[in-house]
Amino acid sequence: MLWFTATLLLLTGCADDVVYQRDVPVPDGAWSRTFTPEFAFDIVDTVNQHDVYIDVRHTGDYPFSDLFLFVDLTGPGGRTMRDTVECLLADPSGRWLGKGTGFIFSDRIQAKVLYKLHNRFPASGRYTMRLEQAMRMEPLPAVIDVGVSVERSKAP
């Protein structure tokens, strides 16, 4: 019984590292530039560092090895910072990165792409991240859903 309780506490403690996580489906599995999902999360801890990830789920029919995004991060004071982010989805040999299901990743591939490592949010309050696909193909096929994850940084 003691072993079970210790394991349960350990698993619960690991889940506390996730501050925010949300995914939204891409309409019809084809990402148009007009679809710009927003993710709003509250930051209370401005002392400790956070890692911010962009989550992308796509099929094996995705035609590229990467995905370029425009990422707008707006802080509690209304100031917005825009980044252009390259999300690597496959290695140079064409092998998909991330976790997948189906025969040789043909069904769904979940990629967790690091956006900011050991980031300190300057103020507590509500932050908003808006994602916009920045690829030349319109609409961008085979993207199932996208999301954002914010986690407390692990000690180096």
Q: How do the domains of the chain map onto residue ranges?
A: 16-152
For the entire predicted model, the pTM comes to 0.83
> Does residue 40 have a pLDDT over 80?
yes
Amino acid 105: pLDDT? 44
Pairing type for strands 80-88 and 99-101 reads unpaired
Amino acid 155: pLDDT? 72
Q: Is 134 exposed, middle or buried (0-12, 13-18, 19+ CB in 10 A)?
A: middle
Amino acid 16: pLDDT? 72
Q: What is the mean pLDDT of residues 88-93?
A: 90
DSSP tag of 76: T
47/121 Cα distance (integer angstroms): 8
On whether the CB atoms of residues 95 and 117 are closer than 8 A, the answer is no
Q: What is the CATH number of domain 16-152?
A: 2.60.120
Amino acid 3: pLDDT? 39
Tokens 């911010």, residue located: 52
Enter the tokens of residue 41: 């999360």
